[in-house]
């Protein structure tokens, strides 16, 4: 009889804990959803180019704004950030610009 009462008590707590966890998860989930108000993952989709092109990935040249195939672009690592340029001229222009900005302040 004592053993049976223990099992019943155990099952009761199991039920309470699982219910509480489910409630907690729902509260946390709704909070997380409120923190991110339906922001799309693609940040650079203003010009209507689909970000999920299957084989080739287009990257945007920050100097002239041209979209270049990632494999054909000229990469430049600037402060841990990888940038892509359509030509060495654009890369050099960007480098000069960065150096000018750094010199100004
Ligand atoms: Zn360019």
| Per-residue model confidence as pLDDT tens digits over 19-68 | 999 999 998 888 888 766 555 555 554 555 555 545 678 999 999 999 99
- Could you tell me which of 99, 102, 68 has the C-alpha nearest to residue 86? 68
- CA of 61 from ligand 1 middle (Å) equals 5
- CA of 67 from ligand 1 middle (Å) equals 8
According to DSSP, the residues that pair with 68 across neighbouring strands are 59
Structure tokens at 61: 């040249």
- CA of 54 from ligand 1 middle (Å) equals 24
Global confidence as pTM: 0.45
Band of residue 69 on the pLDDT scale cut at 50, 70, 90: very high
Structure tokens at 48: 């209507």
CA 87: distance to chain centroid? 28
What is the DSSP code (8-state) at residue 56? -
What pLDDT sits at residue 40?
54
- CA of 16 from ligand 1 middle (Å) equals 62
For the segment 2-18, what is each residue's pLDDT rounded down to a tens digit?
889 999 999 999 999 99
């Amino acid at each position: 009889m004592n053993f049976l009462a223990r099992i019943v008590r155990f099952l009761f707590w199991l039920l309470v804990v699982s219910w509480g966890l489910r409630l907690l998860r729902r509260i946390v989930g709704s909070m997380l959803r409120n923190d991110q108000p339906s922001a799309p993952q693609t940040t650079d989709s203003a010009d209507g180019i689909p970000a999920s092109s299957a084989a080739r990935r287009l990257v945007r040249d920050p100097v002239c704004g041209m979209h270049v195939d990632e494999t054909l672009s000229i990469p430049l690592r600037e402060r841990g950030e990888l940038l892509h340029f359509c030509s060495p001229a654009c890369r050099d222009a960007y480098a000069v610009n960065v150096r000018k900005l750094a010199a100004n302040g």
